[in-house]
Amino acid sequence: MNANQPLICLKQISFSYPEAPPVINQLDLDFYRGDRIGLMAPNGSGKTTLFHLIMGLLKPISGQMEIFGKPVKEEKDFFEVRRRIGLLFQDADDQLFSPTVLEDVAFGPLNLGKSKTEAIEISRKTLEFLGLAGFENRITFKLSGGEKKLVSLATVLAMEPEILLLDEPINGLDRKTSGKLIDVLKNLDLSYMIISHDIDFLDATTHAIYTMANGKILVDQQMQVHQHVHAHPHGTYPHAHET
Amino acid sequence: MINEPFAAGNSLIHNLDPRIRVGLASVYCFVIALAKHTPVLLAAIVISLSLIFITRVNPREIARRLVIVNVLIFLLWAVLPLTYGDPALFRAGPFSISGPGTKLAAQITLKCNAILLAFIALIATMPLVTLGHALNRLRVPAKIVLLLLMTYRYVFVIEQEYHRLLRAARIRGFRPGTNLHTYKTYAYVVGMLFVRAAARAERVNQAMRCRGFNGKFYTLQQFETVRHDWILATIITAMIICLLFLEWSHRA
């Protein structure tokens, strides 16, 4: 595969849910190695649908998809895609289904055919990298919201993907936890695409911010992030500033 | 929603290999359920009680569970002796207390309590997760084990969702009463719960497929059988054999 070839290449992809106007309408997307893209668009504009199309969880009505240089159509084509692209779901409760943290993180590696010892080794390393050492035997449904999010990220990273798709990763997280997530993402040597409504978060983690309208990605209208001055009527509480 | 009050502990039985516990409990239950003679059942009650005694779990918690089951059994006592027929134990006017009916009710009471006590002692003393893994090792089909573990995992999420819906109704002034509006609201809540559970199942399935799930289920837990496991297992097995022997000797 050519280095200048896009990792994900969508051509004229359309998708609609039953009895509804198309959410994705003849969408084109080229995603290259090293890209770090933010997607910021109104609710219902098809961001999550786009991610699910890339992972093969939804099938497009028309158009062609090439991922890692190979055309993908059938369910079996996507096994490879799911191994190399990690999707972080909006709701961590959907992602964490094993009783204990270690088992959940090891689930992916075991499915990829790793041995038990290897899977445990990878899981421990991933948890440690995310600052979650000692969480191995915690019960997943008893974790706090922020912990759940980080463990979900661990379950995705444990599969050693090349691309991450993050669906509203800091939704419902406090400043401290989202700050931690920013640090983690900056330290990863991965390409990724993030859906978020938080401009500060996207500004800190991505190189470009795209938007979506009428079922298409608007690449040429890149959003411009600008500095502005504002007052804090409630004291220093609402948000901390980096210096 | 699901508490595991007996799972934590450090008795001989708590430390017994979960696979052995599941196996013994199953065999023991079958023996009791199929036994026909009262002395065997009385012996079984004694064995179950001694198992409970070894686990040293909170007696009040056990009593609470026994009460629930025995309320149901009480209904049998209210019906069986009056309806089972001759020969009568004694008669009072139009009522007659049936001899076989009374015996049957007594046997059912003994059986239920013996099985329940044995299950509390052997099975409830391990976390449900461990039970799932033990069943997996005993070659129970992966689908059943997966169903058990997933139910355990998501019953809490569904409970939360239920409370969220109920809260939403309550903060808008909903007060349950005996009227159509109440029934309708509860029906909506239950319906919504099913819809949400189904949607959640769909998303969990997607998340699992994204991580390469193909129907095969792996567990990380290792079980080890040490010498004291075998000793305890042999003792319990010997007791079960004694029960069987007692049953046969009465039958002959």
pLDDT, averaged in runs of 10, over chain B (252 residues): 75 88 94 91 93 89 91 90 79 80 91 94 88 88 87 85 86 84 90 89 89 78 83 91 89 70
Please indicate whether, in this complex, the C-beta atoms of B218 and A52 are within 8 angstroms of each other: no
For chain A, give the percent of residues with pLDDT over 90.
49
* Pairing label, strands A70-71, A85-88: unpaired
Question: Residue B28: what pLDDT?
Answer: 94
**Chain A contact set for B205 (CB, 8 A):** none
Structure confidence at residue A100 as a pLDDT band (50, 70, 90)? confident
- Number of Cβ pairs < 8 A linking chain A and chain B: 73
Distance CA B98, CA B101 (A): 5
In the predicted structure, residue A221 carries a pLDDT above the cut 60: no
Is A153:A130 a contact under the CB 8 Å cutoff? Answer: yes
Burial class of residue B178 (count of CB atoms within 10 Å of its CB; 0-12, 13-18, 19+): exposed
Phi, psi of A156 (to 5 degrees): -75, -45
In a 3-state reduction of DSSP, which class is residue A113? coil
Query: Of A192, A186, A215, which Cα lies nearest the Cα of A7?
Result: A192
**Residue contact A112–B149, C-beta within 8 A:** no
Question: How far apart are the CA of A106 and the nearest CA of chain B, in angstroms?
Answer: 8
Cβ within 8 Å, pair B212-A52 = no
pLDDT band at A224 (very low <50, low <70, confident <90, very high): low
A57, A107, A140: residue with CB nearest B206? A57
- Res A3 pLDDT > 80: no
Alpha-helical regions (H) of chain A:
47-55, 77-84, 92-95, 101-111, 116-129, 145-157, 175-187, 199-205
pLDDT at res. A193: 95
Report the pLDDT value the prediction gives residue A9, as an integer from 0 to 100. Answer: 93
CB contact under 8 A, B206 and A52: yes
The 3-state DSSP class for residue A217 equals strand
d(CA B186, CA B162): 11
Question: Residue B221 in 3-state DSSP?
Answer: coil
Is any Cβ of chain A less than 8 angstroms from the Cβ of B164?
Answer: no
- B213 — contact with chain A (CB < 8 Å)? yes
On the question of pLDDT at A113 being above 80, the answer is: yes
pLDDT at A154: 94
Burial status of residue A153 (CB atoms within 10 A of its CB: 0-12, 13-18, 19 or more): buried
CB–CB of A112 and B212 under 8 A? yes
This model of the complex carries an ipTM of 0.77
- Quote the pLDDT of residue A233: 66
Residue B220: list chain A partners with CB under 8 A: 102-103, 106, 116, 119-120
- What pLDDT is attached to residue A238? 58
In DSSP notation, A163-206 reads EEEEESTTTT--HHHHHHHHHHHHH---EEEEE-S-HHHHHHH-
Q: Which residue's entry shows tokens 């999707």?
A: A87
The helix (H) or strand (E) run that includes residue B103 is helix B99-122
Query: CA of B8 to nearest chain A CA: how many angstroms apart?
Result: 15
Residues from chain B contacting residue A97 (CB–CB below 8 Å): 150, 153-154, 204, 207-208
Q: What is the pLDDT of residue A120?
A: 92
Check A83 against B150: CB less than 8 A apart: no
Secondary structure class of A122 (helix, strand, coil): helix
Contacts of A119 in chain B (CB under 8 A): 218, 220
Collapsing DSSP to helix, strand or coil, A151 comes out as helix
Band (A88; pLDDT cuts 50, 70, 90): very high
Q: Do B207 and A103 touch (CB under 8 A)?
A: no
**Does residue A241 register a pLDDT over 70?**
no
Q: What is the pLDDT of residue B201?
A: 87
Chain B neighbors of A48, CB-CB under 8 A: none
**Ordered domains of chain A (ranges, CATH):** 8-97+163-218 (3.40.50.300)
- Angstrom distance (rounded) from CA A115 to CA A140: 23
Q: Beta strand A36-39 with A208-213: parallel, antiparallel or unpaired?
A: parallel
Angstroms from A101 CA to nearest CA on chain B: 11
- Is the CB of A151 inside 8 Å of chain B's CB atoms? no
pLDDT at B252 (0 to 100): 66
- Which residues is A139 bridged to in the sheet? A100
pLDDT for position B67: 94
Q: Is A157 helix (H, G, I), strand (E, B) or coil?
A: helix
Check residue B178 and report its DSSP letter. S
Q: Kindly state the helix (H) or strand (E) to which residue B192 belongs, with its residue range.
A: helix B180-210
Please tell me the predicted confidence (pLDDT) of residue B167.
Answer: 85
- pLDDT beyond 80 at A12: yes
Q: What is the pLDDT of residues A134-192, one digit of tens each?
A: 998 888 888 888 899 999 999 999 999 999 999 999 988 888 889 999 999 998 889 99
Q: How far is CA A78 from the centre of its chain?
A: 17
Q: Which residues of A touch B203 (CB under 8 A)?
A: 89, 91, 94
Are A82 and B157 a contacting pair at CB < 8 A? no
Q: Is the pLDDT of residue A85 over 60?
A: yes
| Amino acid making up residue B90 | F
Taking Cα atoms as reference points, which of A72, A2, A8, A67 lies closest to residue A35?
A8
The reply to whether residue B211 touches residue A111, judged by beta carbons under 8 angstroms, is yes
Q: Which of residues 166-205 of A touch B (CB under 8 A)?
A: none
Q: Which two tokens stand for residue B71?
A: 């309320």
